[in-house]
Amino acid sequence: MNHLVLEFLKVTQAAAIASNPWVGRGRKMEADDAATTAMREVLGQIQMDGVVVIGEGELDEAPMLYIGERLGSGQGPQLDIAVDPLEGTNLVAGGMNNSSAVIAIAPRGCLLHAPDMYMEKLAVGRGAAGAIDLEAPLIDNVRSTAAALGKTLGEMTVMVQYRDRHREAIQAIREAGARIRLFDDGDVTCSIASSIEGSGVDLFYGIGGAPEGVISAVAIKCLGGEMQARLLPSGDAEYDRCQAMGLGDPGQRLALGDMVRSDECIFAATGITSGLLLNGIHLQADGSLITHSLVTCGQPHGIHFVRSVHANRKAG
């Protein structure tokens, strides 16, 4: 499947470029529509038999990239596709940092079909893989991660989303002596940062969207990190959806292998506005655009940062 890596990179580049004109204009729906349309168009050209397992919503909620939509030529590898054409719609609308277009790919049947509900997530990089346990208190995980990385608690940085639901966790981490790095939106980018050397993030913790959790899990698996998660259904309907997915206990701890059941997977992201890992799109004097992307796939847990120049199609 690795021969398709550059094809999926083109997918995120197209979505990012399409949404770029909407940065800072306060119109998140238009930005998301532009990214979604561009992403779907490029996915339709790839030699594959793809099906969207995480997308813009159910068929009656989204006109394209809906869950269950088949994409590609219909020939080639059978793939599960998880997309977020515009991660951080509010960030783009407000002209704020950390928005991107992301996609994750795995062989058919290998991605958890996570419903749109909350998920508790804990993630670390390769150096601390095996040191976390979602069933243990959060501070125990901070301590065990520090030990695995050879750091003191005072040297630890934990990435947490700035939300009221995380208030107690933030306080506990600070009282233990570790640093907090808060973020607003951009759950995928911030969770995989713990698996990228030089990001300044040692551990990620938070309660956010389950679809974003599965997309993040693909990247973390490719990077050799570890992620554990737990679905948090809010009512009977969400509980029943979990059981329909085959989770007899919807509150069970999910290991990385439960969310991504193959080492043969691909993750790609292209920055729209500059952020923690990626630069935003830059317009040059000649009208060409520079994009900054990251791509990672399966073994041996490497990552590629890609700077691309896209010629001005209107020139001449």
User: Nearest-5° angle of CA 200, CA 205, CA 208?
Assistant: 120
CB contact set of 30 (below 8 Å; sequence gap of 6+): 22
Residue 193 contacts residue 205 (beta carbons within 8 Å): no
Structure-block tokens of residue 139: 């501070």
| Residues in Cβ contact with 181 at an 8 Å cutoff, skipping those fewer than 6 apart | 157, 158, 159, 160, 200, 201
Write out the binding residues for substrate: 87-89, 118, 163-165, 185-187, 209
DSSP 8-class letter at 260: B
Residue list, annotated binding site: 32, 56, 84, 87-89, 118, 163-165, 185-187, 209, 212
**Residue corresponding to tokens 């979604």:** 36
What residue numbers does the annotated binding site for Mn(2+) cover? 32, 56, 84, 87, 212
Tokens of 304: 């590629």
Sign (positive or negative) of CA dihedral 51, 52, 53, 57? negative
Cα distance between residue 118 and residue 232, in whole Å: 5
